[in-house]
Structure 1
Amino acid sequence: LVKIGDYVAAESHLTCGACFQCRTGLAHVCKNYKILGVDRDGSYAQYVVLPEGVLWKTDPSIPPELACLQEPIGNAVDAALAEDLTGQTVLITGCGPTGLFAAAVARTAGAATIIASDISDYRLSLAKQVGADHVLSAKTQPPEQLAAAILDITAGEGVDASLEMSGNPEALHQAFRAVKNGGRVTLFGIPTGPVTFDLPNEMIFKGIRVYGITGRRLFGTWYRLAGLFKAGLTIRPVLTHSFPLSEFATGFELIQSGQCGKVVLFP
């Protein structure tokens, strides 16, 4: 239970507590969930009213500008750690903030080699700061060159795990092509339309495992993230800009430019 004065962060998925999913430990895919900031007023405000059950007591040593990022970092935790990454080679396609968080999580969780790809040199530079060993430009290298580079890095084997964080159709195919037989692909990015796959050759005959990521497991992901912070998870390089709430328009313009990592607004 929380009390007045507690330092908290909020889960953005407000669940019903009554559906099959909620009653069987799958509340993150609740049939009736509402999203803070989508289905009801969000947190671009000085005060927010929320159910007590979605509040997470936060370690006071974590500063507010990082504590407020726990919810999106949770997506990266679930994406990266759908399976154990210890000693594995990981490909991250898409270095937006959640992809960058995933790189940091993979590094902290013991991945041996992290490869990151994106069309933005700026975002790739951030990926290096949070733990990527190799960065590949999808803007200057065509798909076949990217595939060859990944095979070269992995001695012809392919990666153990692909984390697709962009939703770009070509990046989706890259994630499946790059993973070795028997590996796994985690999907977080949302395509803007239908994407066609060669199911036999990209999935079935490779014997891969595919995970879809939405929300955070309540509250298993949050406990896991707390442990990662204690283990040294470094995310500050992803927080590139902050503005007072009154300058929200400037923050959104910066986001649209792509020349930023995560942007935080202070009320």
Structure 2
Amino acid sequence: MKSLVKKWAEPGLWLAEVPEPVIGPAEVMIKVQRTGICGTDLHIRAWDGWARQAIRTPLVLGHEFVGEVVEVGSDVADIVPGDRVSGEGHLVCGKCRNCLAGRRHLCCATVGLGVDRDGAFAEYVALPASNVWVHRTPVDLDVAAIFDPLGNAVHTALSFPLVGEDVLITGAGPIGLMAAAVARHAGARHVVITDVSAERLDLAREIGVSLALNVTEVSVAEGQRMLGLREGFDIGLEMSGRPEATREMIANMTHGGRIAMLGLPSSEFPVDWARIVTSMITIKGIYGREMFETWYAMSALLQGGLDPAPVITGRYGYRDFEAAFADAASGRAGKIILDWTS
């Protein structure tokens, strides 16, 4: 089958023929229809410091996808050929304390699809049935393909109650943009998002944020004044992984403010811990989604009118993956989709 492979330990990706996966008794075979390009995939393609440490080649990339079930193992119930499905890309051990307590997203032995094992940038992908999400209600294929990153956005945005709150989001990448849409939908009073990309800030305005700030021109403190905020932001959603963005967020939180951090820094950096302590700020780290509570929340939000489709700005056939990855890496695009049906 055709797949996008990290063949060698060097920059680049290769479209190659690899054997089709073989499923076990508790697994499902899925014919891939659409995939989303994630920041993780960009790191692997670039072969940066994180990728050199984390990835073993050869590897089929990809963990954001939608497809159709074509085969199920003998032990699989409630999933049948023809079902439209997405997949939870974190495969957990099922045996550790957190797994046994139902907190599977906190598993200490998580294996990542398309990172630690072959992924979904291929014509077929095999996945444990326990990681398959069946779309029981109609959903657009492109939107279904980005349930994984939408789940990151939903998990982060809904970490704290949002009704009537003033929310600061640092980083207007695809997940930051989706988090802004979720925050608006969930009842936040003001949603402010920051970035340095004019194109992404324009996307944020289309989504309906209160302010989209280019922080090379307008500070977060100035944004506060523009909205008439007197004490700072109630909720912070850090999506950029940038040290300066995190420090700016901490400096503009109200006393007792709460910060959910999804952005992954490339290295350690200092923050003002005295400010965090004396302002009694809560900081929560977010990795992935709650299995499967976040997935239920995503489906419910979509049924309730949430529309993440404006975040999708590029669609390419998988053979045009070089152009698709260049678009995704430009810093100007939203979410980029690869079509595996043509």
> What's the TM-score once normalised by structure 1's chain length?
0.95
* Contact 1:7–1:60 (Cα < 8 Å) also in 2: no
Task: Look up the SS of the partner of 1:252 in the other structure.
Answer: helix
**Counterparts of 1:1-267 in structure 2 under 5 Å?**
1-141=78-218, 145-201=219-275, 203-267=276-340
Task: Look up the SS of the partner of 1:3 in the other structure.
Answer: coil
Bigger fraction of residues in helix: 1
The 2-side partners of 1:83 and 1:146 are apart by 21
Give deviations 1:131-183, integer Å, cap 9, x for gaps: 21111101233xxx332322442432211101110011000011111110011
Task: Look up the SS of the partner of 2:192 in the other structure.
Answer: strand
The 1-side partners of 2:150 and 2:166 are apart by 21
* Contact 2:247–2:272 (Cα < 8 Å) also in 1: no
* Contact 1:15–1:27 (Cα < 8 Å) also in 2: yes
| Contiguous gaps of at least 5 residues in structure 1 | none
Structure 1 residue 208, shift from structure 2 partner = 1.6
Question: Rg bigger for which structure?
Answer: 2
Task: Look up the SS of the partner of 1:234 in the other structure.
Answer: coil
Number of residue pairs aligned between Structure 1 and Structure 2: 263
* Contact 2:261–2:285 (Cα < 8 Å) also in 1: yes
* Contact 2:104–2:291 (Cα < 8 Å) also in 1: yes
4+ residue runs over 3 A deviation: none
Letter in 1 for 2:329: Q
Task: Look up the SS of the partner of 1:9 in the other structure.
Answer: strand
Alpha-carbon RMSD: 1.2
Task: Look up the SS of the partner of 2:126 in the other structure.
Answer: coil
Task: Look up the SS of the partner of 1:92 in the other structure.
Answer: strand
The 1-side partners of 2:215 and 2:136 are apart by 38
Residues 1:55 and 1:154: Cα distance change in structure 2 (over 3 Å): farther
Q: Percent identity?
A: 39
> What's the TM-score once normalised by structure 2's chain length?
0.75
* Contact 1:15–1:22 (Cα < 8 Å) also in 2: yes
